[in-house]
Amino acid sequence: MSGAEVRLEGLGKRYGEVRAVLPLDLVIEGGTLVTLLGPSGCGKTTLLRMIAGLEQASEGRILIGGRDVTLLSAGERNVSMVFQSYALFPHMSVLDNVAYGLVSSGMPRKEAHAQAEAALETVGLKGFGTRLPSEMSGGQQQRVAVARALVLKPDVLLFDEPLSNLDTRLRRSMREEIRALQQRLGLTVVYVTHDQSEALAVSDRIVVMRNAAIAQAGTPEELYTQPDSVFVATFMGEANHVQGAIERSDGGQAQVALGPLRLALPDRGLPTGRADIVIRPEAVRFAVDGEAGLPGTVARATYMGSHSEYLLDTEVGTLFAVIPDRLRRREVGAQVLITLAPDGVMLVHD
Amino acid sequence: MRLRGSLPAWLIAAVGAAVVPWHMQQDGLSLATIVGFGQHDPEAASALWQAAAHGRFWFWPIVAGLLLALPGALPMLPRPARALWLLAGGGFGLAALVVQGLAIGVQGWSWPWLEALFGPLDDRQFGIGLGGAMTAVALLLLVTDGFALRGAFKGDRFVAGAVGVLAASILLFTAWPVATVLMQMFTPRDDLSAWAALADRVVDRKIWGLACVTSAAGCGVFWNTLVLATCTATLTTSLGLAFALIVTRTRFPAKRGLRLLTVMPIITPPFVIGLGLILIFGRSGVINQIVEAVFGLELGRWIYGFNGILLAQAFSFTPVAFLVLIGVVEGISPTMEEASQTLRATRMRTFGAVTLPLMLPGLANAWLVSFVESLADFGNPIVLGGSFGVLSTEIFFAVVGAQQDFGRAAVLAAVMLVIALFAFVLQRRVVGRRSYVSVTGKGDSGLPPTLPAPIRRAAYAVAIPWACLTLVVYVMALAGAFVRVWGRDWTPTLEHFRRAFALEWTANGTLLFSGGAWHSLFTTIELAVIAAPITAGLGLLAAWVLSRQRFAGRTTLEFALMLTFAVPGTVIGVAYILTYNVPPLEITGTAIILVACFVFRNLPVGVRSGVAAMSQLDRSLDEAAVTLRASTFRALRTVVLPLLKPAIVTALVYSFVRAMTTVSAVIFLVSAEYEMATVFIINRVINGDYGLAIAYCAVLILLMTLATGLIQLLVGNRRLGRRGVVAAPAPVGGRV
């Protein structure tokens, strides 16, 4: 099976005066995993629930595989959803849970159970069918929820923060399993999370949302290396936000002044003058002897084993730095010269 | 081919309009008369046949609406177009149905301008029967389908239909009757115009008179009712508080027994207490006889009137206040009181400065609940009232007495309704302000402090004698069933039971239920058994719609539903006979009116227990079912209902028991064919036949206990693995 394309056209949601999702356009290609990422209250779950048919769109259209489903109820849409709480039916056995959708669609019970067994095998739970959900661990319940959604061969599979109830270690392995399953079966998956590392790990594309609108959409690498805004930069990993100036720009390259440093960066269409700059912590380095640099003072130094973390006071502001040098550690109060690796420094829009 | 979409509803509407007799049939429906096509008697014909063969042109618009809706019911057109046809056709048909039903009554055209337009009509119209009902419901569903197709209710036809049916039934069985009562006040009388008649009825010394303040004459019923309800509420709240404090804040050994007290009013027919009081304090009561024998004093009839009713209501409703106040006292977080104690307050000061103020809203709520109970009470005043009239009994006598004055009954009902609504609004505001409730979802540790000694002693001094007295009243009441004539002939006997429930073998070997009570008992059980599942089903459906769905008008629906709560039973009773005596819905004297009364009087209980249970159920469970291709109905049936079993039990038991014990509304609605147990008992009481009445009450109590167990057994428990079964909280309060 292969997943269908999801196309949102001017889709928006309003509760009275409150806008939960501003009208937006988005295309999710068939067979890809797209993450909706954002802080709580940004509208990502509402967007997901509109695709599922659990919320009514206030405006715009939803097309799944080219079919307009905007007015269809959830059951008529051929989408499945994995819920944050898993929503396993506590009074039914695991097998009945997984077979529920098939039986609902009118499949004879025997056949439905056979397919449910197969789906349980896919998620590595062969032989657990007779148990009740309450007799399984959190990770196992999660797999049952995935199997229950998968068995219907949906056009689109929706995940609503599926890993937030698991502990850190389990979360890591579950997200890899979900990703592997999605790639093996070629599913279209829309995945809601507020955890950026989860998003980076599983996604083909990430849609960062903020204040009921899309802040930026792109591949994980694009979002990390070319964030449009301070918000996206800081949301996709750690970032220092400082102000510099664009001295001149031509051919898409800008010469940027940051204290005594001069950096050549892609200008991203910004005019000359004051500019917002974000700096990844791992792009901050200490100057090699004789190299020119931004003078600073070590305000805090934390030894982390594999690397050290520093807070450095400079004329452009305090910088957070992650430096993998385990041999030459700087003490608090030390005067240092700082240089920046250009691939970790970006001009942004606000 | 599987019928899909709106086609089944359309077919039902079509069958209802074209095949089945439209009007209610005098002799009921038989297989032979169920086809109303080609009938010679127009009254036995279907709507279509009446229009085509008998010239009743007013049925054509309904048929036209049906035809208009047909394109929408067929799957050919795109959704928006179908929605439009369904809305237009269904809406037009429904409107036509309602208008023609109201336009032609028992004496031809209902409104003069129609007569001017079409000329006089020598026809009359009977009430809507099976055909009309089928068509009306199906047309309604076509309209809701149309809304769903347009994307309302998330495109869910089941939800749209459920909301439509709920709204329509509340409109039909609560709003319309109440409106009819209020309109009745304007009915012109003799030579008086509408307004003058209203003024004459409202300004009535029998209602508002204050003669009792200055002289020995009686006051108006308004004042009687108000004073009685205020006294009862104050008394029961104080007593209930004493009980609640003992149960929650002392080491009293018999707490369990006290808690049992709260169950009693639920399974007690409303006049057991009144009868018990008569047997103790009445003219031939135990106390009177002892006093007369020892002191030679004649105590007389003091129990009849205000004193007796107050006493009886205090016995009846203290358990209700107790139940409310247990929740209130348990709702106070002990940490507040512990904080107060660490701040060097004495126990007494803690109680006075912290505990009591925190309980105030809860006390106010309990007071208002008791107030409304007293206001709506019919059983106690009718048994003990004597010449002391309250609103509920006055309404009754205005309708059944020699006066037969429906206008007066309507005015009294309106007065009662206003008081009840006022108390209801007040109560909602008191309960709505939750700022004082200090229990949070988190486990609040800390032990509730024990009561300060003076308070504890006072509580004991009040509660324990009262509990004993309650027990005595019940024992006396039931003992009355086993002696020949109370007060005169103390010979133990089962004669009363024999008279009520005798069984005989006839000559040809069949069993003959020769006892006088069998008929009413069977009717009562039959109707209660019919009404209970409808009440529970409709109530839970409403609870589900209200707590799980979002749609325009949700709050309005919720408010309307809660309002049905506030309408006293007597008002509903009067409203029902006024409304359903005449077409288009002519159901007076049938079982339907009694079942409708039970269902809509007890609906709020089903709703409440459903909402409480639903709030413990993760919303994503039903959402998961829906995304798994289950239709909403299937999701409800396979996921929500099994998890709601405790709430179903509560709703079933409650509506069954209520149907068996209610008297206030029912007393207006019974007929010779459909007589209810409670009404039968009241008639025995009025005739002074206490023994039989009490015997009957005892049988009812036994029966209800059995039925409760049976329902529990039938519905069964949820199986959720290792986790224990979470019981739904029992609904608080209720009315007779």
Is the per-residue pLDDT at B541 higher than 70?
A: yes
Average of per-residue pLDDT across A180-199: 92
Is the per-residue pLDDT at B355 higher than 70?
A: yes
Quick check: A74 and B621 CB within 8 A? no
* ipTM value for the complex: 0.76
Is the per-residue pLDDT at A22 higher than 90?
A: yes
Residue numbers in A near B624 (CB within 8 A): 81, 83, 87-89, 148
What's the farthest any 2 CA atoms get from each other in chain B? 93
Q: Is B191 on the interface with A (CB under 8 A)?
A: no
- At B334, phi and psi to the nearest 5? -60, -25
Is the per-residue pLDDT at A249 higher than 60?
A: yes
Quick check: B627 and A100 CB within 8 A? no
Quick check: A87 and B718 CB within 8 A? no
Distance set, CA B411 to CA B93, B178, B575 (Å): 36, 12, 12
**Over the stretch B26-67, which tens digit does the pLDDT of each residue have?**
776 676 677 766 667 777 888 888 888 888 888 888 999 999
Nearest CA in chain A to B158: A73
Pairwise CA distance, residues B501 & B698, whole Å: 12
Which of A59, A68, A91, A144 has the highest number of chain B CBs within 10 A, making it the mutation to test binding with B?
A: A91
Quick check: A152 and B618 CB within 8 A? no
Closest CA to A294 of A314, A312, A311: A314
DSSP B162-214: HHHHHHHHHIIIIIHHHHHHHHHTT--BTTB-HHHHHHHHHS-HHHH--HHHH
> Between residues A276 and B406, which one has the greater pLDDT?
A276
User: Rounded to the nearest 10 degrees, how much is the dihedral formed by the CA atoms of B104, B106, B112, B118?
Assistant: 50
Closest CA to A76 of A52, A40, A46: A52
Q: Is B721 on the interface with A (CB under 8 A)?
A: yes
- Cα dihedral sign, B714-B720-B722-B728: negative
Distance from CA of B651 to the nearest CA of A (A): 21
Nearest CA in chain B to A160: B620
Is the per-residue pLDDT at B310 higher than 90?
A: yes
The pLDDT of residue A138 is: 87
Using CB atoms, pick whichever of A71, A87, A104 lies closest to residue B623. A87
Which of B551, B628, B715 has the highest number of chain A CBs within 10 A, making it the mutation to test binding with A?
A: B628
Mapping DSSP to helix (H, G, I), strand (E, B) and coil, where does residue A122 land? helix
Q: What percent of chain B has pLDDT over 70?
A: 90
Quick check: A75 and B721 CB within 8 A? no
Average of per-residue pLDDT across B133-155: 88
Average of per-residue pLDDT across B84-106: 88
The pLDDT of residue B286 is: 81
**Over the stretch A5-16, which tens digit does the pLDDT of each residue have?**
999 999 999 988
Using CB atoms, pick whichever of B154, B624, B723 lies closest to residue A53. B154
Average of per-residue pLDDT across B213-217: 66
The pLDDT of residue B736 is: 36
Q: What is the DSSP letter of A13?
A: E
Top-ranked range on mean pLDDT: pick from A229-233, B418-422, B568-572:
A229-233
Pairwise CA distance, residues B16 & B33, whole Å: 14
Mapping DSSP to helix (H, G, I), strand (E, B) and coil, where does residue B411 land? helix
The pLDDT of residue A310 is: 93
**Over the stretch B566-612, which tens digit does the pLDDT of each residue have?**
788 888 888 898 888 887 888 888 888 999 999 988 887 788 778 87
Nearest CA in chain A to B634: A104
The residue to which tokens 């959900």 are assigned: A133
pLDDT level of residue A73 (50, 70, 90 thresholds): confident
Count of beta carbons in the 10 Å neighbourhood of residue A245:
14
Contact (Cβ atoms closer than 8 angstroms) between residue A211 and residue A202:
no
